[in-house]
Amino acid sequence: MGDKALDTGKVMLVTGGSRGIGAATALLAARQGYAVAVNYASHSLAADEVVRQIRAEGGQAMAVQADVADEAQVLAMFARVDARFGHLDALVNNAGVVDVSARVDQMEVARLRRMFDINVIGSFLCAREAVRRMSTRHGGRGGAIVNVSSAAARLGSPGQYVDYAAAKGAIDTFTLGLAKEVAAEGIRVNAVRPGLIETDIHASGGLPDRVRELAHQVPMQRGGSADEVAQAILWLLSDAASYTTMALLDVSGGR
């Protein structure tokens, strides 16, 4: 298969698609027939490797840089996807950050702004641009959005990152409201709430062994894999979930 998207094929944009859950989602989506735009903020080599793997398996993909917290970069990213693939059918709002463990009384405003700019405002900006392309109200043909929340939205993450948990709580509310707003316009909006998943986001927060150390708290007695979360995301985006919108799907081993 060439790298030019078929007019009949579906197109997906995965933000934060170079590593972890995003990369697993991009790879699985390509295997299910999507042409995939793999967004990254700074890990260009990792994004290029995801694209290489997709193409090696006969799929269609492109890497596209953008910091989702920057509106100008988000607009440029969507313009590049438009130019390459011509339309958009699915958005996975996966880009997100954590920070080092801290109590709320230790948090600086710069940390809080980064946390909400990327995790919340970035998801709003990308969803806004996706709706402008997908909604039948805007002449689109419909589509689906999956927001990547976290079990932290339910648990609060005290003593670690209440700011991250609060940002993901905002994503849950955003999912519910947007789902109702565009339900009659051909767009379904759902969220997954991963629990302890084996990805390097924990190392970026200074806790590389977090999943192993907390696995005993999970009823299933283990951490999850990025692919297990990707499977849930692809189901929510698929026609098999055609009557499912406004769902917050826990992928957390019972935690």
> Which residues are the active-site residues?
164
- For CA atoms 165, 145, 187, 234, the dihedral sign is negative
Return d(Cα 120, Cα 169) in angstroms, integer.
Answer: 10
Alpha helix positions (H), 118-225: 122-134, 152-155, 162-182, 201-204, 210-214
Residue type (1 letter), 129: E
Which positions ≥6 away from 43 have C-beta within 8 Å? Answer: 18, 19
Measure the CA–CA gap between 183 and 192, rounded to whole angstroms.
18
